[in-house]
Structure 1
């Protein structure tokens, strides 16, 4: 595991949370995305899928990732078929992020798959994977917090902040997000 023990590295004093190998990999990833993908035009989704796959992402057929998306670590990313990750989205995937088929992550949404142990005086980083089911929608500028699972067909409204699991077909709004209603089964 590339996650380091905060007792040894002291991140509050500027120490690293991840191994040197992990940090070098991410530096290579960021430079590659900047040079080969960041300024590509919108229709070049197949090219960006290839770049992501070369760096270890698992990408379903027809997934579309916009050039302005920020991905912390492609090795910790799984996208199902026909997923759309919109412009300006931030996938802060220190922990794994899985997005199911036919799900839309709208512009400037933020998915954060890690946190810190607030009881630990060393502020240990804790990886908490995010799982978003099939046919979901995370609307513009919404936030999905660490460890959250969104059931199939659930919706997170614009600028909402989800910190607990979302039930299948549930529509959530607000900060913190609350169940508003459920989607029709059709």
Structure 2
């Protein structure tokens, strides 16, 4: 009977250790995925605008939907894929516009992380200007991204579409 009891204890220890490491591993992965929960949106869903001489301004909202605090880096990337609309088609390639990510007070956020508590939101703006010599009647697609330092993957990109009108067409 003593041999059987030792066998039961040995099996119990192995099962317990396996279960313990499994539960700990799930906790780590759960925490990892929680840090990637963020929403990035354009205020009032107005992601398409025209940029005249004074530029175009997009108000954006970043929301930490995770259960813990997180820091985010914001970036903007000009895309090559066409973003012309059905009613304003063009065969011209996308143009590269000047893009600045700014705080509500119009301070540059370049290279600055945004720290948000769980459930907290942050409002900022993306200001797009047209460089001199840019062809009129063209489009620019700009992807704005928020990346958490705790999340390895890019998360939640939002596309902004900017049309460069001909100012003589009023």
TM-score range normalised by the length of the shorter chain: under 0.3
Normalised to the residue count of structure 2, the TM-score between the two structures is 0.22
Normalised to the residue count of structure 1, the TM-score between the two structures is 0.20
Structure with the higher fraction of residues in strand conformation: 2
Q: Which has the higher contact order (CA 8 A, sep 6+)?
A: 2
